[in-house]
Structure 1
């Protein structure tokens, strides 16, 4: 059996075993399981020595399952090592560092906080863990790296019938919520970690860029262009979000492998005059810069990795090597954080998108031979639709509804996405040099964004556009 097949079988077994273990998470698994896997591996190793292929696979199976057990046990121990949950259902004062972008609608804000200390009547008690701070005092007041004191009621997250809030927060390493907190700055002499300092700088740059978009474009097109370029959805009205959900277009404003594949398509088209191998490095650099620009969060880094895999697929031109690269990427990401495989829709959508680009994208490019390559239209259209085809089943299973109008809405909206992204970005940057020039360049980007929002608005009104499962 070829090494590539053995590797694919090993990774596939590991992913399947890890997926099943979400329903049996323990900090340590019974000794009889390890004994059984050890015996299975021993007989498999003997089979390998005697070149008995069926028995050799026993070794691969035992090794992959053992690694899955260790991965889940390690993640469970890490979660249980947090001491902050022991203070649940208490009014408490926390001291810590803001570690992420605020969420929520003004005037409220939700801040992820890495907690270092608890203040109990003047006594500082060291603790570990991350908490979501619920603040109604203003928007936005605190940034990544700010050290704050927050007082409120510490509670466990509550789930609803259609949304598991516990799983959602656990993906971010958060276990508790501090309700209606009173927040004040509490600077300490401790220097910020280099990673926090970098993320703080990137956040400031992104907020400046978003403010430029809001100056240049009217709503709701400004919110859409911001979502396409940075993944930020705070500016979306509830009605627009509902329209996008009903028409299957929400994925456009969630940073995943889909967004990065659009960037790849745009650059591939703009650099059509270069040989394929010379396009590789500009595309990789663009993906890295985009990843840093939008904040370099875990989900964005994952999307960037998926995008690089897509570029690598085009560069190698060997689908078998590309498939193995995708599998190894999934393996290491799951090994690092198995919760991604279980509950992270972005993780699942990113892999589905890159599979679509590598498997279906080349076929669609041949089908779109008559589409002009101007501004990378053909490449980006093929990449976008290919990603839609493979992400549709994941979206249905994740969100529990089927948008019957989604195929039509995506066909109508997809050609406008790269135009809105490219000209929206160029117009915004040129507005810094001379605002009227930015308006002139961004006008076509505004038209493309308006086409997308109007497509969503009109098609969302079609009877039975979306059907719940």
Structure 2
């Protein structure tokens, strides 16, 4: 029964956050929801016949109110409105890893004070677009002088889809931006010391890889292994999008979940306890290696839940863990529900792996079980099915060859990650020591790039889908949910 009540609470809580993300009816609406929930709980005590329905309604509405309240708590008002379009001088610290692009770098700076009166600010981040040089690092304390601007939403490519850039930045408390301001480094130590050390190690590994492998192989290792945002070039990125494999470059939650599934399969030869330990070690190590950013940590938690499902084989326990993990992440940052595509993709991919993939085993009986090929094929297609409506809504691109390309490439991603990582590690000691691993990594990367090149050249590789309203996507996922309930009741999932 706890699972049922928890599911109702989860739906209500996420519904409250989603509703409040778009509408704000003030405190009166929250009071009304609370009153309504209390009324249903009272009816539960007084009623004999319909007690079950009153409990469900009470829990749902109360959770709805809690979701609205949690969003309100984190929805701070931007404090620098009077400074828009004016010259301003700020002091603060670089609080996220620099996002290095082809012609510029994006820095997220926590604005601590306004000069010259040193007005103290709280929870305000500013996005800076600066030249690639001089380079800045996470934790650098900087003085910034430039024109303060507000971000704006923009159309995606030539379609009528509008990217909610304001919401995307707002989830990280970024309310303002500056284009090519004067930035002066005035100190260090402005960030978390643990994260600072992780980024330092990561940058050393990236530099080692770039000295050993040519481009675009080195940048692809940076994206696949370390989550680095160095650009592969717009032409190559477009090719990755066309064949539906862009997630391996940007280190999305979807990617982490697939990697977790493959690690679990590779470790299946060992006793269950050892296999679980190796898998957990691999995922935790992967998160630390990529800098343990919020996106990767959330995706890794989802990945660990997949491993827990495989280890326990108990659908009841993993469902409870998945719902609790989802609620905990939303309590920490409710804005990720609507404005963070990585959270959405990782959650959906996890659901697909846990609930849909086992039911597809029979369909793919023609695929041999050797080396876990059948499990990998079903995992890949199950996740593709579950993330497809969201990807179509966000990008408007439907890759006809995505399933084939994902199967051809994703099977080699864990090995690419392993040898790419070893190339970086041994390259730090001496470049000659890294060469054996670099040759293998180069071969794997060349294969993957060749597959992308071949399939992206096909005239039917990708088609554009007209934009559609969000309610269509919601209805599709509701149908997905009903289909899963039917499948689980008809044949319980064997994890």
Question: TM-score, normalised on structure 1?
Answer: 0.89
Partner of 1:4: 3
Q: Return the alpha-carbon distance in structure 2 between the equivalents of residues 140 and 26 of structure 1.
A: 46
- CA drift of 1:54 comes to 1.8
Match of residue 353, structure 2, among 344, 354, 357: 357
User: Where do 1:29-48 residues align within 5 Å?
Assistant: 29-30=28-29, 33-34=32-33, 36-46=35-45
Match status 1:235 vs 2:225: no
User: Where do 1:183-222 residues align within 5 Å?
Assistant: 183-187=183-187, 192=190, 196-222=192-218
Q: 1:70 to 1:328 in 2, by over 3 A?
A: same
Partner of 2:141: 147
User: Where do 1:265-304 residues align within 5 Å?
Assistant: 265-304=261-300
Of residues 221-230 and 302-311 in structure 1, the stretch that sits farther from structure 2 once superposed is 221-230
Number of matched pairs: 456
Partner of 1:459: 455
Contact 1:417 1:449 survives alignment (8 Å): no
Match status 1:19 vs 2:14: no
Contact 1:381 1:415 survives alignment (8 Å): no
- CA drift of 1:314 comes to 0.7
Q: 1:198 to 1:315 in 2, by over 3 A?
A: same
Q: 1:37 to 1:73 in 2, by over 3 A?
A: farther
User: Where do 1:388-407 residues align within 5 Å?
Assistant: 388-407=384-403
Q: 1:267 to 1:466 in 2, by over 3 A?
A: closer
Q: Return the alpha-carbon distance in structure 1 between the equivalents of residues 18 and 339 of structure 2.
A: 10
User: Where do 1:90-109 residues align within 5 Å?
Assistant: 90-109=86-105
Q: Return the alpha-carbon distance in structure 1 between the equivalents of residues 309 and 250 of structure 2.
A: 23
Contact 1:416 1:451 survives alignment (8 Å): no
Match status 1:133 vs 2:128: yes
- CA drift of 1:277 comes to 2.4
Partner of 2:85: 89
Of residues 428-437 and 396-405 in structure 1, the stretch that sits farther from structure 2 once superposed is 428-437
Of residues 142-151 and 177-186 in structure 1, the stretch that sits farther from structure 2 once superposed is 177-186
Q: 1:49 to 1:302 in 2, by over 3 A?
A: farther
Q: Return the alpha-carbon distance in structure 2 between the equivalents of residues 438 and 117 of structure 1.
A: 46
Q: 1:212 to 1:26 in 2, by over 3 A?
A: farther
1:404-451 deviation line (CA, Å, top 9, x unaligned): 221222232222222322222233333445534422233232222222
Secondary structure of the corresponding residue to residue 448 of structure 1:
helix
Q: Return the alpha-carbon distance in structure 2 between the equivalents of residues 424 and 63 of structure 1.
A: 49
Q: Return the alpha-carbon distance in structure 2 between the equivalents of residues 185 and 94 of structure 1.
A: 12
Partner of 1:158: 152
Match status 1:260 vs 2:256: yes
1:167-192 deviation line (CA, Å, top 9, x unaligned): 1211221000122210112238xx64
Contact 2:171 2:340 survives alignment (8 Å): yes
Contact 1:257 1:350 survives alignment (8 Å): yes
Q: Which runs of no fewer than 5 residues in structure 2 stay unpaired? A: 157-162, 467-495
Of residues 267-276 and 82-91 in structure 1, the stretch that sits farther from structure 2 once superposed is 267-276
- CA drift of 1:365 comes to 6.6
Q: Return the alpha-carbon distance in structure 1 between the equivalents of residues 411 and 454 of structure 2.
A: 17
Contact 2:269 2:275 survives alignment (8 Å): no
1:14-70 deviation line (CA, Å, top 9, x unaligned): 222322332213563446524642543443442588882122223212221221221
1:383-423 deviation line (CA, Å, top 9, x unaligned): 44443332222211221221122122223222222232222
Q: Return the alpha-carbon distance in structure 1 between the equivalents of residues 63 and 303 of structure 2.
A: 27
Q: Return the alpha-carbon distance in structure 1 between the equivalents of residues 460 and 377 of structure 2.
A: 27
Q: Return the alpha-carbon distance in structure 1 between the equivalents of residues 375 and 209 of structure 2.
A: 26
Secondary structure of the corresponding residue to residue 136 of structure 2:
coil
Q: Return the alpha-carbon distance in structure 2 between the equivalents of residues 134 and 39 of structure 1.
A: 50
Contact 2:423 2:438 survives alignment (8 Å): yes
- CA drift of 1:272 comes to 3.5
Q: 1:382 to 1:133 in 2, by over 3 A?
A: same
Contact 2:44 2:51 survives alignment (8 Å): no
Of residues 414-423 and 90-99 in structure 1, the stretch that sits farther from structure 2 once superposed is 414-423
1:163-216 deviation line (CA, Å, top 9, x unaligned): 22211211221000122210112238xx646xx111111111111111112122
Partner of 1:316: 312
Partner of 1:247: 243
Match of residue 414, structure 1, among 392, 410, 415: 410
Of residues 293-302 and 276-285 in structure 1, the stretch that sits farther from structure 2 once superposed is 276-285
1:256-277 deviation line (CA, Å, top 9, x unaligned): 3333334434543443342112
Contact 2:252 2:346 survives alignment (8 Å): yes
Q: 1:356 to 1:443 in 2, by over 3 A?
A: farther
- CA drift of 1:297 comes to 1.4
Contact 1:354 1:387 survives alignment (8 Å): yes
Q: Return the alpha-carbon distance in structure 2 between the equivalents of residues 75 and 26 of structure 1.
A: 16
Contact 1:44 1:57 survives alignment (8 Å): no
Q: Which runs of no fewer than 5 residues in structure 1 stay unpaired? A: none
Of residues 51-60 and 378-387 in structure 1, the stretch that sits farther from structure 2 once superposed is 378-387
Contact 2:381 2:403 survives alignment (8 Å): no
- CA drift of 1:454 comes to 1.7
Cα RMSD between the aligned structures? 2.6
